[in-house]
Amino acid sequence: MKLLQLLRILTPADHKNLERFLQSPYFKPSDRFLPFYRQLKKKYPDFDSEKEGLIKVYQTCFGKESYSDSKLYNLMSDMARQLERFLTVEAALGPENLPPTDLEEHLLITSLGRRNAGAYFRDEAEAFIQKLESKKAKGPEEWYFLQSTQEHVSFNADTPVNAKYGQYFSNAVHNLLLYTYTSYLRYAAEWKSRGLWIGRQETLPHLDFFLSVTGSQEILEKSPLLEIYRTIVLTFKETNSQPDFELLVRLFEQIQDIVPIDDRKTIIRHILNYGIRLMSKEMAIEADLFEIYRKAEALDILLDQGRMSLPSFINVVQLGSKLKDFSYVEGFISRGAVHLDEEWRKHAVQFAQSIIRYHQGELDAAQDFLTPEVFRIPRLELLPRFLLVRIAFDRFLFHGDDDTFLLAQLDALGQFVKNRKELSEHKIQGALQLIKMIRAVAKEKGKHKRVPEKERSALLKKAQATTPLVDRIWLIERIEKL
């Protein structure tokens, strides 16, 4: 039932505001709404939809004699419409006690224009236009409000027909184009980003046309936001390189303080997704990507409805630990852990602590945190196994341990990846090649206290040439220390 569906999505604060809304005489709610709602609220947050329960609520409010199926249906239907109006008003006005949103101002000016408020309407419209035009970077919504407001002034019945107001018509057309261009490229960036992740790029209608017409310096200078969306689309469309990532980061840093917050969040998501893809291709972008993650945390972008994904949590820990920013990483773990899936929270934190200890050189402590439960964390089953291999390899190379434990972990990792049907062939072969390379390095190290330059060079060339190969950069760093 629509009413119950709507009630389930409300927060506790929404429920308080809804009660005040139902008491408002302006919307002329039925005097039956409030008592019925107060009884329904006792079923928060599930709002049981069984008809028998609803009948009981109705009869509690209005008496058994007054009940009929049609009366219950009509009451719930009317209340659902009232709740829809409440949600509409909330969206238009925004949070209480804050300055009017652009949408609220636009709606007010629209209303003034429809009522032929004359000079008052034009003064309000001009002030709104000046405020929007003063913004250095405008999102699609602002371009739309500019276009629509200038259109209202141009076509308003009591706007004088003279040169002063004639300019608004041409301005409206110009801003409509900028709204169209920016909106399209925002969608195109999302389209391309999703296509990269699902591994299938479909044709986006008119994309080449929009990329062509938005390439002029005049348009790009007028809309910095359009420029970065256009750059994202071109990057996702044509290339896959470190310089392109660095260009995106640089463009974002130039405009991050002036673009609308929603666009800021959207752009950061695109940069993060692109950076993660490049990291999987072993490109050295750790510092830039880590800084973007820090900005993402500050803007709550890492949270989706109050939850943080386990991969995002571990990505930040791995990057920060590799860059030796342990103070930030420890704080991030404390802040982020409360937003993780409760079932795996403890074990994700253990894995995070293992990563930190490994990068601090505390191999025994790192291994102690790798409890059996850590290896079963959903979507992260491979990472702790790779970390355990790193720990075993470092012990062998730098602390003189024999190779028994290392070889056992390599065998276990090889068996694991071969049995994971959900892994791509590229990932399986990358892991198997790593195992093969570590065995070759261990074999040479077993022969020499200090591996001769000739053999070390041969191992380096093989590590650089082998494709695919997981953890190539880490492996090369180890070979260079032989």
Q: In whole angstroms, how far apart are CA 59 and each of 40, 72, 153, 168?
A: 12, 10, 54, 59
In residues, how long is the chain?
A: 482
Which pLDDT does position 159 carry in this prediction?
87
What single letter denotes the amino acid at residue 46? Answer: D
From CA 106, how far away is CA 102, in angstroms rounded?
6
The 3 state secondary structure assigned to the chain is: CHHHHHHHCCCHHHHHHHHHHHHCCCCCCCCCHHHHHHHHHHHCCCCCCCHHHHHHHHHHHHCCCCCCHHHHHHHHHHHHHHHHHHHHHHHHHCCCCCCCCHHHHHHHHHHHHHCCCCHHHHHHHHHHHHHHHCCCCCCHHHHHHHHHHHHHHHHCCCCCCCHHHHHHHHHHHHHHHHHHHHHHHHHHHHHHHHHHHHCCCCCCCCHHHHHHHCCCHHHHHHCHHHHHHHHHHHHHHHCCCHHHHHHHHHHHHHHCCCCCHHHHHHHHHHHHHHHHHHHHCCCCCHHHHHHHHHHHHHCCCCEECCEECHHHHHHHHHHHHHCCCHHHHHHHHHHHHCCCCCCCHHHHHHHHHHHHHHHCCCHHHHHHCCCHHHHHCCCCCHHHHHHHHHHHHHHHHHHCCCCHHHHHHHHHHHHHHHCCCCCCHHHHHHHHHHHHHHHHHHHHHHHCCCCCHHHHHHHHHHHHHCCCCCCHHHHHHHHHCC
| Per-residue tokens: 30 | 């039925």
**Is the torsion defined by CA of 91, 308, 293, 186 positive or negative?**
negative
pLDDT tens for each residue of the chain, 482 residues long: 788 889 888 888 888 888 888 888 887 777 889 888 888 888 767 666 678 888 888 898 888 888 898 998 999 999 999 999 999 888 888 776 678 889 999 999 999 999 989 999 999 999 999 999 999 889 999 999 999 999 999 999 888 888 788 888 999 999 999 999 999 999 999 988 887 766 666 778 999 999 999 999 999 988 999 999 999 999 887 667 888 888 889 989 888 888 888 898 899 999 998 888 888 777 888 999 999 999 999 888 888 878 999 999 999 999 999 999 999 999 999 999 999 999 999 999 999 999 999 999 999 999 999 999 999 998 899 999 999 999 999 999 999 888 899 999 999 999 999 988 888 888 899 999 999 999 999 998 888 888 889 989 999 999 999 988 989 989 999 999 88
Which pLDDT does position 351 carry in this prediction?
97
**Is the torsion defined by CA of 283, 287, 290, 295 positive or negative?**
negative
Which pLDDT does position 166 carry in this prediction?
82
List the one residue out of 46, 329, 138 whose CA is nearest residue 337.
329
